Amino acid sequence: MTWRLAVSTVRIRSGDIGRGRADVLDAGLAVISAGLIVGTVAAFVWPALRTSVYAMGLDTLLDTIATLVTIAVAVLMSTRFRERGEPVALVLAGAFVVLAIANAVAVLLVIAHIDDGPVAAGLPSGQGPAYVSAMAQLLAASLVVVGLWAALRGATANYPWIVVVAPAAGLLMVILLIVRFNPELAPLSAPYVPPDLQGSTASQLVPVSTPLGWLLGAACAVLFFLGAVMSRRLYRHTSSISDAYLAVGLVFAGFAQIHLALSPEVYSGLISGGSLLRVGFDIALLLGIQAEVSATISSLRQANQDLARLKDAEADRAALEERARLARELHDGLSQDLWLAKLKVGRLSSLSAPGSEAAELAGEIGGAIDAGLADARQAVIALRWTGDGETSFDQQLASYVDDFADRSGLQAEFVGDQPLRRMNPRAEAELLRIAQEALNNVRRHADATVVRVSTTTGAGSLRLGVVDNGRGFDPASAGDSAFGLLSMRERAGLIGGLLTIESRPHDGTRVWVDVPLACIAAAPSPVPS
């Protein structure tokens, strides 16, 4: 029940985070759209705002960047399809391949000196590049809408690579037709000569869109806006960050079509407001690629952390199983043999004459066997401790101290300043063994009457203490020669702790173990997705 409640809580929180991010996207889209609407209305009302600038080098650079960006997005989407099997990614890959081809054609026309700028401004033969761009934008916008619609409907792709290859092949065929019938094509724009500029040169002509140009631009704009709405809806379903940036980019693309209809770019090198909005589209796509890569890296890092926790949990489980096996063998083997030896020694003692050397020897052997049985019992208790959550560590420690008091005849007590938080099984087992070893030393060597075991939680650390009122010793003289002390130090080091021994002759012994809480905290279990 607790596990299910934890999973439900995590899912609820994840849903809250997803809704919060969607609200941020909606707010961002609203702000961007409002700003672009204001700018578009202003450009429509005041023609002076539609000023175009001739800069062949900058225009070619922007087309080159757009080509690289669209190719990168196409690669990203195809990779997303291979990894996740999302049909929308495949269709979007086809759409951006189409845009990449159109941008590459614009760059090649300049490199080949086919479209040399203002000299073709008023010529019907200069409509070819405009047709290529318009057809590519219309085809790409249609693919975006179809892909997003398929994603929202949960459709599958039956012939995946045809979705990418067919649009690209179709655009190449359209380009060939445009080249073949370029002189007969209806113009998408025409030069407009203001009354005060009669007799102007071609570079002074003001291009305006024809009804056909307005129709194509409006159709592309509507499709891009529709794609933005659908991408926003898809983001609410998938929470994929690339869908959010795609929605923003499509808003820029839609307004770019409107501005290009207001100020058509009839030849290469002409930069208008539509060109700048296309830059916004490219920037949004680049940010989407970066965000997608960052999200993928973050997911991989989280997956690696989950795998590491699973590996640790599996190692702990194997260790617990091995400890349980050893406890069974110790109980069923060594303990039973010691009990049998004790019975035999008891029988031998009863057969020996009282006060004889044999009776004294039998008594010594019986005492040694009792000590061995006590050690075996302690080992079984430590090995059987699994830290499964049914009994907390401080409860287990208190139970062991009570058992020690009953067996040893010493006055032993456990004091904890507060209930201990959950620790990992390895830390609990090592701390319990350290306490057992310290209590064994008290029983065997300290000649004490009172021993106190305590746990205190300070600023970021846990302290386990075993204090007795025995005869004490000089820790410097013992060094690391005492196996028990060396064992306790090693166990403390295994869990990132530090063992400190304070003692003087005739002044008792104080054993302290300080462990950072970060080293012994229970690792959270990975939440099922």
Structure tokens at 288: 């989407």
Residue 15 pLDDT > 60 = no
Confidence of residue 452 (pLDDT cuts 50, 70, 90): very high
Task: Render pLDDT for 68-111 as a digit per residue (tens, 0 to 9).
Answer: 888 888 888 888 777 777 777 778 888 888 888 888 888 887 78
Please report, rounded to a whole number, the percentage of residues in the chain having pLDDT higher than 90.
9
Task: Render pLDDT for 280-324 as a digit per residue (tens, 0 to 9).
Answer: 888 888 888 788 778 878 888 888 888 887 777 776 676 666 666
Residue 188 pLDDT > 70 = yes
| Lowest-confidence region among 177-181, 196-200, 215-219, 405-409 | 196-200
Choose the most confident range, by mean pLDDT, from 160-169, 294-303, 431-440: 431-440
The reported pLDDT for the residue numbered 158 is: 66
pTM value is 0.57
Distance CA 199, CA 193 (A): 8
Residue 521 pLDDT > 80 = no
Residue 453 pLDDT > 90 = yes
| Secondary element (H or E) of residue 480 | none
The reported pLDDT for the residue numbered 41 is: 86
Task: Render pLDDT for 215-257 as a digit per residue (tens, 0 to 9).
Answer: 988 999 999 999 999 888 888 887 778 788 888 888 998 998 8
Contacts of residue 474, defined as CB under 8 A and 6 or more positions apart, other chains included, come to: 503, 504, 505
Q: What is the mean pLDDT of residues 263-281?
A: 76
The reported pLDDT for the residue numbered 19 is: 57
Residue 167 pLDDT > 70 = yes
Q: What is the mean pLDDT of residues 7-16?
A: 38
- 53-54 vs 270-271, strand pairing mode: antiparallel
The three-state secondary structure class of 7 is helix
The reported pLDDT for the residue numbered 125 is: 43
Distance CA 236, CA 229 (A): 11
Of 22, 166, 139, 148, nearest in space to 86 by CA: 148
The dihedral through the CA atoms of 99, 104, 105, 110 has a sign that is positive
Residue 195 pLDDT > 80 = no
Distance CA 86, CA 78 (A): 9
The reported pLDDT for the residue numbered 5 is: 36
